[in-house]
């Protein structure tokens, strides 16, 4: 088969479409003939040599995919050959075929296109696990989402709104109108507005109950300042650096908490539990149209380098997908 490989770390040109060995189906796994995959920040970091895949993961990029089941291990039940599915991967989505634990596979939601479904597993699992399992976001609370125009951001806006939260987002001004259409109640241009002041103003001085943060170190101090009493910060990315200064006194005075989570390196059993929660609580929202995939564009897998450039420019809205025939 063919897959996108990274012979040497580097820029987008380091991605090479090459012949590689076929994946071997193991116990508890299914093989998916891939129709599409999605580009995630982790893929960019892996290409740059800044994010090693887990030891038990595929060496090829790609944390999610959609496609058709091509083989099923004898000990696996509940799936059938030829079934259209999408899956949360540890890696290997940038390939014609991939094997994945059966517990990380999801049916394509009704009324969702097979290719568009490739951009759902990573964002749905990340958003649901952090907003529901970790932050316990409730109706009537205020959610502040950084990077509102990203795949995570566009999904978090819709899911937070579906939970009954008021959603504030930071994003470039060019994306504001579209983010309001997704459900954002207040949109902040992070290039020339102070999100702390804007969040306080939008909440009558109260602040955000939950902050979903992709930035990490550079935003830590201001995230605490923007927090409401009993607020929760969940850090899911490090685009702004690995280290930041935490004013513990301010955090304590607000009875606040800071959580840091990752998805890719979790054990398969934990991922399977998240998948079950997503299937039970998020898939019905997709099937009813309350939430829909937000896709910026589709590109052929052979144009993966261009897809990475688009992601790094950050001018996209939602997911950038790579398609395979």
Mean per-residue pLDDT over the chain, rounded = 97
Pair 203, 181 in one domain: yes
For 66-87, what is each residue's pLDDT tens digit? 999 999 999 999 999 999 999 9
Residue 302 has pLDDT above 90, yes or no: yes
Pair 232, 313 in one domain: no
Pair 256, 156 in one domain: yes
Residue 286 has pLDDT above 90, yes or no: yes
How far is the C-alpha of 129 from the C-alpha of 223, rounded, in Å?
20
For 172-212, what is each residue's pLDDT tens digit? 999 999 999 999 999 999 999 999 999 999 999 999 999 99
Pair 273, 204 in one domain: no
Q: Of all residues in the chain, what percent carry a pLDDT higher than 90?
A: 94
pLDDT at residue number 41: 95
Residue 158 backbone phi and psi in degrees, to 5:
-65, -40
Instruction: Give the CA distances from residue 319 to residues 26, 37, 39, 243, in Å, rounded to whole numbers and listed in that order.
Output: 30, 10, 7, 28
Q: Which residues sit opposite 208 in a β-bridge?
A: 227
Q: What share of the chain is helix, strand, coil (3-state, %, to 5)?
A: 35, 25, 40
Hey, is 183 helix, strand or coil? coil
Q: What is the CATH number of the domain that holds 232?
A: 3.40.50.720
Pair 46, 147 in one domain: no
How far is the C-alpha of 86 from the C-alpha of 81, rounded, in Å?
14
Residue 325: pLDDT band (50, 70, 90) is confident
pLDDT at residue number 103: 98
**Burial label, 275 (beta-carbon count in 10 A; 0-12, 13-18, 19+):** buried
Pair 247, 132 in one domain: yes
For 222-270, what is each residue's pLDDT tens digit? 999 999 999 999 999 988 888 988 899 999 999 999 999 999 989 999 9
Pair 209, 288 in one domain: no
Better pLDDT: 244 or 278? 278
How far is the C-alpha of 189 from the C-alpha of 193, rounded, in Å?
6
DSSP state of 318: S
Pair 154, 39 in one domain: no
How far is the C-alpha of 120 from the C-alpha of 139, rounded, in Å?
23
Number of domains the chain is built from: 2
Residue 54 has pLDDT above 90, yes or no: no
Q: Of all residues in the chain, what percent carry a pLDDT higher than 70?
A: 100
Which residue among 233, 260, 287 closes a domain?
A: 260
Pair 249, 278 in one domain: no
Pair 147, 189 in one domain: yes
Hey, is 97 helix, strand or coil? strand
Q: Provide the domain limits for residue 275.
A: 2-120+264-323
Mean pLDDT to the nearest integer, 18-41: 97
pLDDT at residue number 180: 98
Which residue among 243, 260, 277 closes a domain?
A: 260
Q: Which residues sit opposite 38 in a β-bridge?
A: 321
| Packing angle, helices 268-281 and 121-128, rounded to 10 | 90
pLDDT at residue number 241: 83
Q: What is the CATH number of the domain that holds 106?
A: 3.90.180.10
Which residue among 222, 240, 260 closes a domain?
A: 260
Pair 27, 58 in one domain: yes
Residue 133 has pLDDT above 90, yes or no: yes
Residue 56 has pLDDT above 90, yes or no: no
Which tokens belong to 200?
């306080």
Q: Which residues sit opposite 71 in a β-bridge?
A: 31
Residue 55, number of CB atoms within 10 A of its CB:
7
Pair 170, 289 in one domain: no
pLDDT at residue number 239: 86
């Amino acid at each position: 088969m063919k897959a996108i490989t990274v012979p040497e770390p580097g820029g987008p040109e380091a991605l090479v479409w090459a012949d590689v060995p076929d994946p071997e189906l193991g116990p508890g796994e299914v093989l998916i003939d891939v129709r599409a995959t999605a580009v995630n920040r982790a893929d960019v970091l892996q290409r740059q040599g800044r994010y090693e895949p887990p030891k038990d993961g595929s060496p090829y990029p790609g944390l999610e995919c959609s496609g058709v089941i091509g083989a099923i291990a004898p000990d696996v039940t509940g799936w059938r050959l030829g079934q259209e599915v999408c899956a949360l991967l540890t890696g290997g989505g940038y390939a014609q075929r991939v094997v994945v634990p059966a517990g990380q596979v999801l049916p394509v939601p009704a009324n969702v296109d097979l290719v568009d479904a490739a951009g759902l597993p990573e964002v749905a699992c990340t958003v649901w696990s952090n907003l529901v399992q970790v932050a316990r976001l409730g109706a009537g609370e205020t959610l502040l989402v950084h990077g509102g125009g990203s795949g995570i951001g566009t999904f978090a806006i819709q899911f937070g709104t579906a939970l009954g939260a008021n959603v504030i987002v930071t994003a470039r001004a060019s994306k504001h109108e579209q983010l309001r259409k997704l459900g954002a109640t207040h949109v902040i241009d992070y290039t020339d507005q102070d999100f702390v002041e804007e969040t306080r103003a939008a909440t009558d001085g109260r602040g955000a109950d939950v902050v979903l943060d992709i930035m990490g170190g550079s935003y830590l101090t201001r995230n605490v300042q923007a927090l409401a009493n009993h607020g929760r910060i969940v850090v899911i990315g490090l685009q702004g650096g690995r280290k930041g200064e935490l004013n513990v006194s301010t955090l304590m005075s607000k009875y606040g908490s800071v959580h840091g989570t990752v998805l890719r390196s979790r054990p398969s059993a934990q991922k399977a539990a998240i998948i079950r929660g997503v299937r039970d609580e998020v898939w019905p929202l997709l099937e009813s149209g309350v939430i829909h995939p937000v896709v910026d564009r589709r590109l052929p897998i052979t144009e993966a380098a261009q897809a990475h450039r688009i992601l790094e420019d950050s001018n996209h809205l939602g997911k950038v997908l790579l398609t395979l025939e």
